């Protein structure tokens, strides 16, 4: 069963008149991980935000997006807010931008859970503490009482993953979640994504330019260039036998640059 089906997604800038995503179609199977790869400006993040209906108002879109068979395209903003977080989680590139800088992170976490569940504050607190320990944040009370700027990028990413563990969505969209992290933090966050998938059973749409990470995490890969999908298929096939020149270029250059990740972490 497909958790997500995107059909002929077309995104354009209404002010400038240029097309950003050209009639893209793809599916994310239940419990699987689909990675979108490509260089900056290829349309990866715009595609993710289009699924969530979070692009700025200047970007218009057409086509169909189905989540578990239900059309998201026809939902109102109020209806989409109920889907976001609880049913479709999103983990963004810069953890700092996901939290209100004027509040300790615990406020954000409690408000999000209160939006979706009728739990008492004590129950929310207990569930958050348990989830944070599962992502190796071993002093959750201290962490929740800190402001975003007092926490590292890796910790903020793990907090978002902990919140996702509590919400248990059917689909998680991760938009370049390791880009701003050092190599050790990247490894830790990728491991948490593996655990998230195992424990929650969610599907993952994973956007990254790091093919080393994609190779470890994704079942299937979709390659984008200048807003077009130029190749898609099982990860092993796309990496070992790319059929498009651009994919071949990406694999030969980017995967070589990602070898440091494997060497430093001592993993095959």
Per-residue pLDDT of the chain (268 residues; tens, 9 = 90+): 899 999 999 999 998 889 999 999 999 999 999 999 998 889 999 999 999 999 999 999 999 999 999 999 889 999 999 899 889 998 887 777 788 899 999 999 999 999 999 999 999 999 999 999 888 888 999 999 999 999 988 889 889 888 988 999 999 999 988 876 777 778 888 888 888 888 888 999 999 888 888 988 999 999 999 999 999 999 999 999 999 999 998 888 766 655 655 565 555 4
C-beta of residue 202 within 8 angstroms of C-beta of residue 248: no
CA distance 182 to 180: 7
Record the pTM. Answer: 0.87
pLDDT, position 35: 96
Q: What is the pLDDT of residue 264?
A: 59
pLDDT value of position 189: 80
CA–CA dist 164, 113 (Å, integer): 10
Q: Which long-range contacts (CB under 8 A, 24 or more apart) does 118-122 make?
A: none
CATH number at residue 133: 3.40.50.300
Residue 140 is predicted with a pLDDT of: 94
What domain count does the chain have? 1
What is the model's pLDDT at position 265?
Answer: 56
Give the three-class secondary structure for 230.
Answer: strand
Domain assignment of residue 61, given as a range? 2-265
pLDDT of residue 262: 58
3-state class (DSSP) for residue 168: coil
């Amino acid at each position: 069963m497909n958790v997500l089906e995107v059909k002929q997604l077309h995104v354009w800038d209404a002010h400038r008149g240029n097309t950003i995503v050209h009639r893209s179609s793809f599916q994310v199977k239940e419990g699987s991980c689909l990675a979108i790869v490509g260089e900056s400006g290829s349309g990866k993040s715009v595609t993710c935000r289009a699924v969530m209906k979070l692009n700025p108002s200047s970007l218009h879109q057409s086509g169909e997006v189905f989540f578990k068979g239900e059309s998201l395209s026809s939902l109102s903003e109020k209806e989409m807010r109920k889907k976001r977080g609880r049913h479709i989680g999103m983990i963004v590139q810069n953890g700092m931008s996901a939290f209100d800088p004027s509040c300790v992170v615990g406020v954000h976490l409690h408000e999000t859970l209160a939006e979706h569940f009728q739990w008492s504050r004590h129950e929310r607190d207990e569930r958050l503490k348990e989830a944070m320990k599962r992502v190796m944040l071993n002093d959750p009370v201290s962490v929740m009482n800190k402001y975003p700027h007092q926490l590292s990028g890796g910790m903020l990413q793990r907090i978002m993953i902990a919140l996702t563990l509590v919400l248990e969505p059917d689909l998680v969209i991760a938009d370049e979640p390791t880009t701003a992290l050092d190599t050790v933090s990247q490894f830790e966050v990728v491991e948490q994504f593996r655990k998230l998938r195992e424990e929650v059973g969610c599907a993952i749409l994973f956007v990254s330019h790091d093919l080393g990470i994609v190779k470890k995490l994704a079942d299937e890969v979709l390659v984008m260039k200048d807003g077009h999908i130029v190749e898609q298929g099982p990860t092993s096939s796309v990496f070992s036998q790319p059929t498009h020149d651009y994919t071949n270029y990406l694999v030969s250059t980017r995967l070589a640059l990602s070898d440091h990740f494997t060497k430093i972490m001592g993993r095959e």
